[in-house]
């Protein structure tokens, strides 16, 4: 077997499913938000960076829920969209009136959804 074939064989066994990738992205966002909360010294570039990453991630999820070819049942799509609206509102509130306690709900949502995607929820 060639080196390329061996590399492909190894990669094909370790590639993540879309659900695993989504879970990993949610956990990354949760870690960033948790870091901001743990090391709170007031609003700073880390807070804005973490909120931006989380907002972009949820924007992707919300957009995916609106596509006609989304295989999820309508109820699931509506629930994710509603959670996304809450995340956006909470993010705006955090930017207007920064308070590390407000990050808890965003962290919890991301961790719980990630657990569900990973089959741990």
Provide the mean pLDDT of the chain.
90
> In this predicted model, what pLDDT tens digit does every residue of 55-89 receive, in sequence order?
999 999 999 999 888 898 999 999 999 999 999 99
d(CA 90, CA 9): 44
Residue ranges per structural domain of the chain: 17-117
Domain 17-117 homologous superfamily, CATH: Flagellar protein FliS (1.20.120.340)
30-55 per-residue burial string, b: 16 or more CB within 10 A, e: under 16: bebbbebbeebeebeeebeebbeebb
**pLDDT at residue number 16:** 83
The model carries a pTM of 0.84
């Amino acid at each position: 077997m060639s080196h390329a074939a061996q590399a492909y064989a190894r990669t094909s066994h370790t590639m993540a499913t879309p659900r695993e990738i989504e879970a990993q992205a949610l956990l990354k966002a949760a870690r960033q938000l948790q870091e901001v909360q743990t090391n709170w010294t007031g609003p700073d570039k880390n807070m804005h960076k973490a909120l931006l990453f989380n907002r972009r991630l949820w924007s992707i999820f919300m957009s995916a829920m609106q596509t006609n070819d989304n295989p999820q049942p309508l109820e699931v799509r509506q629930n994710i969209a509603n959670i996304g609206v809450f995340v956006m509102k909470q993010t705006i509130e955090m930017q207007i009136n920064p308070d590390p306690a407000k990050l808890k709900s965003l962290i919890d949502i991301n961790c719980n959804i990630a657990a569900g995607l990973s089959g741990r929820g």
